[in-house]
Amino acid sequence: MRIRYLKIEISRSVLQNSFLIASVIVGFLILYNVFTFGLLKHELNENLDNSLGHEIENVNKAFRIQQDSILILNPNEFLETDLTRITDHPFFVQIYNTKGKLLLKSKNTEFIQPIPKRFYELNEELYFEDDYAGKEEIRSAYKKLTDETGTLIGYLQLSTTKSRLTVITTNLLIFNLIAFPMILLVILIASVLISKRTYSPINKIISTAKSISASNLNERLSYKADSKDEIGKLRDTLNDLFERLEFQVKQISSFTDNASHQLMNPLTTINSELDFLLNNKLIIDDQDNSVKVIKEETGRMIKIVKSLLLLAKDSNTLFDQKQLFNLSKIVKENVKNIYKEKKIEVDIDPEFYLRGNPDYFSIALQNLIDNAKKYSNEDWVTLSAKITDGNVILRVEDFGVGINNEEKEKVYDRFYRSEKVEMLGIKGNGLGLSLVKLIITAMNGSIEINDNSPRGSIFIITLPAVDLH
Amino acid sequence: MEVLIVEDECAIAGSLKKNFLNAGHHAIIVTDGEAALSTIKNIQYDVILLDWKMPKMTGLQLCKKMKGAGLKTPIILLTALSEISNKVEALNAGADDYITKPFSFEEVLARINAVLRRYQSSVSALPFGDYSLDLIERTVISTEDKIRLSEKEFDLLRYFLLNRGSIVSKEQLCEKVWNIACNPETNFVEVTIKNLRKKLETGLNKKFIRTIYGEGYIFFAD
């Protein structure tokens, strides 16, 4: 699967890699945030408790309880703005006895919902507790008040709103919620870019490796990389592979070349001897017949060997950049010399020129005409050509058995014969069309098979036209 | 007809000889270049069949040597299929035609007859289409007319004829026809081609020399 994003092609492995990197970073970020958030909350609470503790001591020093009434020792303490108004950092004081009777409260408690009075069996001198005054979140510090004998007579409660703290933590939370998707996006893009960078040498190697085919097997990957790192190793391994491949291909083609050459000499002799026998009027009818069969089969064998010889060749040697030929002339020569019966219709402009070796093109043409004739009952073949977009389009049409769609690519395989023609018992070696394809491809052309109507096939050959003046 | 077969493959040579005898001709077989060179001193052959691939001396070398020594007998090269791209090489070596192996005897006879017909009309001429270039008179001969050529026009046409069907560049023409290195400022190649075109194409009313922009010229005989 490949998706296109901003005209940059991102492969699946790059995406997978990026998601992996992004999720690791994001996971770490989440953990880090949770930890910081907790720590911050804890620190803020500690801070609050400290100031509450500090203030409660101050307040504690400023009064004394005498039989359910308060004796204020330091009135200034109770007149501090923090205790009289709602400030940034207000302190609400409530002093009550064990029965819950309120003995004193600071002035600013009027501006807030009633703060619940709590009675705790306190062991500690100081106790801190989260609470609510109406809906307002508060934190309270408690200090037990004792008489001279040490009996509990009441409580000093000092509360403060947590709104400042809540604002800080909520802000942090909101900031995180907004920032998080953005960070995620940035990380994702960054990791895609990094992954692409990591893969770019591999992509370069892939594109070079792709361009190396049978015709330029001597080429090698020349990507610059240290031979100790992965990219360098990949390059060296692939180059090694190409080396072995080139050797094998060369060996196979030189074997085929030698073998066909060796076969050619005896075949020439056999053919020549058969000519002698057939021209010699002394042989009797039965023998004449069998000699004719041998001659025919020798012809087939020669054709196979010739085809193999050409197929073994490097496709570059099949193409001659410097040679031009006239299409109509070549077609007419082939039709006139080989097919004497006039059932081949030729409709080709005499001014069409093609680039390449005319002898090889003739072989391709002969194979196409042979096929068209061989597989049709009517023996009727049409050859026509036209120029479209600087290309000569040559059509070879027959009304024969036709080629099934699923076989249209296979027919170019060496020695492939369609089941249909095998069943019909039409002779052939399965090399003709692979040879045609080889020659046409070597001439920078292409070949395509369409169905003819009502039946049969149309071979469409597209070759670059040459402009002559 | 006296035929000399120079072929190291005895079976092929023997079979050819039998066929020639059967067709009423006389054939002599030699298996290497040395023997061929010595036999042509004594016997006047009508045609020589030469195998391309032979030990000691290749058919091409032998062909050059024979033609270099002034031999007027037509020579036909027998080549393997993979060598058909060397057609120009064969014609440049002075061979009159070539046949690819494996061949049928009918084809061999037909080619021999075609070459002999050409030899009877003019001893040394390069035919193209219905015309031929007389190598001694330095004229183009058609059925009704004779066209005189200047020295360079003749050399140029001769080079074109030996390279027919192949694109030749201006550089190539400078080097091979004029024997000088090409200079882009000079236009003698263009001028000579223009003159040759005028003589051939107005006289014979056909287009022989075609231009391929950016590449060069090409000669089509028909």
Among residues 349-408 of chain A, which lie with CB inside 8 Å of chain B?
357-359
B-side interface with A, Cβ within 8 Å?
Answer: 9, 11-12, 14-16, 18-19, 22-23, 80-82, 84-85, 87, 101-106, 165-167, 210-213, 218, 220, 222
Nearest CA to B75 among B39, B41, B46, B107? Answer: B46
Q: Which residues of B touch A279 (CB under 8 A)?
A: 19, 22-23, 105
CA distance A381 to A398: 5
Select the more confidently predicted residue: A402 or A317: A402
Q: Which of A257, A324, A358 sits opposite B218 (nearest CB)?
A: A324
The Cα B163–Cα B169 span in angstroms is 11
Helix (H, G, I), strand (E, B) or coil at A282: coil
Between A276, A309, A466, which is nearest B18 by CB?
A276
Of the candidates B51, B54, B30, B31, the residue with the CA atom closest to the CA atom of residue B42:
B30
What mean pLDDT is reported for chain A?
83
pLDDT over threshold 80, residue A276? yes
Tokens 């770019």 locate to A200
Q: In whole angstroms, what is the distance from residue A26 CA to residue A191 CA?
A: 12
Going by C-beta distance under 8 Å and a sequence separation of 6 or more, which residues neighbour residue B198? none
pLDDT winner (highest mean) among A146-155, A315-324, A420-429, B18-27: B18-27
pLDDT of residue B207: 81
Nearest CA in chain A to B99: A268
Rounded to an integer, what distance in angstroms lies between the CA atom of residue A86 and that of residue A84?
A: 7
Query: Residue B3: beta bridge partners?
Result: B27, B47
Taking residues A109-120, what's their average pLDDT? Answer: 84
Helix H or strand E segment including A87 = none
Q: pLDDT band at B79, cuts 50/70/90?
A: confident
What is chain B's length? 222
Answer yes or no: is pLDDT of A179 > 50: yes
Residues 6+ apart with CB under 8 A from A144: A122, A125, A152, A154, A155, A156
Contact at CB, A320 and B85, closer than 8 angstroms: yes
Instruction: Give the chain A residue nearest B167 (alpha carbons).
Output: A322
- A402 neighbors A457 (Cβ within 8 angstroms): yes
The reply to whether A466 touches chain B by the CB within 8 Å rule is yes
Residue A25 DSSP label? H
- The answer for residues whose C-beta is within 8 angstroms of residue A49's C-beta and 6 or more apart is A128, A139, A141
Helix B188-197 to helix B151-162 angle (10° resolution) is 80
Question: A323 vs B16: CB contact, 8 Å cut-off?
Answer: no
DSSP letter for each residue of A354-415: EES-HHHHHHHHHHHHHHHHHT-SS--EEEEEEEETTEEEEEEEE-SS---GGGTTGGGSTT
Position A10 pLDDT exceeds 50: yes
| Predicted local confidence at residue A314, as pLDDT | 66
Mean pLDDT over all residues of chain B?
Answer: 84
- As a whole number of angstroms, the distance between CA A169 and CA A151 comes to 41
Mean pLDDT of B117-126: 70
Q: Best of B17, B105, B106, B109 to disrupt the A interface by mutation (most A CBs within 10 Å)?
A: B105
Cis peptide leading into residue B102 (ω within 30°) = yes
A272 touches chain B (CB under 8 A): yes
Of the listed ranges A388-402, B39-53, B177-191, the one predicted with least confidence: B177-191
The pLDDT value given to residue A316: 67
Q: What is the least distance, in Å, from the CA of B69 to any CA of chain A?
A: 31
Average pLDDT, integer, range A334-340: 73
- Of A369, A361, A370, the C-alpha closest to A330 is A361
Tell if the CB–CB gap between B18 and A273 is shorter than 8 Å.
yes
CA A200 from chain center: how many Å?
A: 13
Extract the tokens encoding B206: 């056909």
Ranked by mean pLDDT, which of A75-89, A413-427, B36-50 comes out on top? B36-50
> How does DSSP assign A62-131, residue by residue?
TEEEETTEEEES-HHHHTSHHHHS--SS--EEEEEETT--EEEE-GGGGGSPPPPP------SSEEEEEE
Among chain B residues, the shortest Cα distance to A313 is held by B82
Q: Which residues of B touch A317 (CB under 8 A)?
A: 85
| Placement of tokens 């074997």 in the chain | A255
φ and ψ of B145, to 5 deg: -135, 165
Question: Over 50: is that where the pLDDT of A4 sits?
Answer: no
Closest Cα of chain A to B16: distance in Å? 6
Poorest-pLDDT segment among A103-117, B1-15, B77-91 = B77-91
List chain B residues with CB under 8 Å of A261: 80, 82
For tokens 């490097």, the residue is A314
A156-176: pLDDT as tens digits: 899 988 887 788 888 888 888
Only one residue has tokens 């550089």, namely: B171
> At B26, is the secondary structure helix, strand, or coil?
strand
Which residue of A271, A357, A466 is in closest CB contact with B212?
Answer: A466
The helix (H) or strand (E) run that includes residue B145 is none
* A353: Cβ contacts below 8 Å, ≥ 6 apart: A324, A325, A326, A327, A465, A466, A468
pLDDT above 60 (res B122):
no
Closest Cα in chain B, distance from residue A289 (Å): 18
CB atoms under 10 Å from CB of A229, counted, come to 11
Of the candidates B82, B104, B212, the beta carbon closest to that of A309 is on B82
Contact, A452 vs A402, CB < 8 A?
A: yes
Does residue A129 contact residue A159 with C-beta atoms inside 8 Å? Answer: no
Provide, rounded to the nearest whole percent, the portion of chain B with pLDDT above 70: 93
Does the beta-carbon distance from B23 to A257 stay under 8 Å? no
Classify strands A446-451 and A381-388 as parallel, antiparallel or unpaired.
unpaired
Instruction: Give the closest-approach CA distance of B164 to chain A in angstroms.
Output: 9
CB A354 within 8 Å of CB A319: no
Q: Which residues pair with A33 in a beta bridge?
A: none
Q: A415: left (phi > 0), else alpha (psi -120 to 50), else beta?
A: left
Please answer yes or no on whether A323 and B167 come within 8 Å at the CB atom. Answer: yes
CB contact under 8 A, B18 and A357: no
Write down the pLDDT at residue A463: 93
Residues of A in contact with B11 (CB under 8 A): 265-266, 269
Query: Nearest C-alpha of chain B: how many angstroms from A441?
Result: 18
Give Cα A405 distance to the centre of its chain: 31
Cβ contact (<8 Å) for A469 and B211?
Answer: yes
d(CA B67, CA B54): 18
Using DSSP, state whether B179 is helix, strand or coil.
coil
B220, A326: Cβ pair inside 8 Å?
A: yes
How many cross-chain Cβ pairs, A to B, lie less than 8 Å apart? Answer: 89
> Alpha-carbon distance A183 to A201, whole Å?
28
Phi, psi of A231 (to 5 degrees): -65, -45
Most confident listed range (A91-105, B82-96, B118-132): A91-105
**Distance in Å, alpha carbon of B221 to nearest chain A alpha carbon:** 11
Question: pTM for the whole thing?
Answer: 0.58
For B177-214, how does the pLDDT look when each residue is reduced to its tens digit (9 = 90+)? 888 887 778 888 888 999 888 888 876 667 888 888 88
Strand partners, B168: B217
Residue A215 pLDDT > 80: no
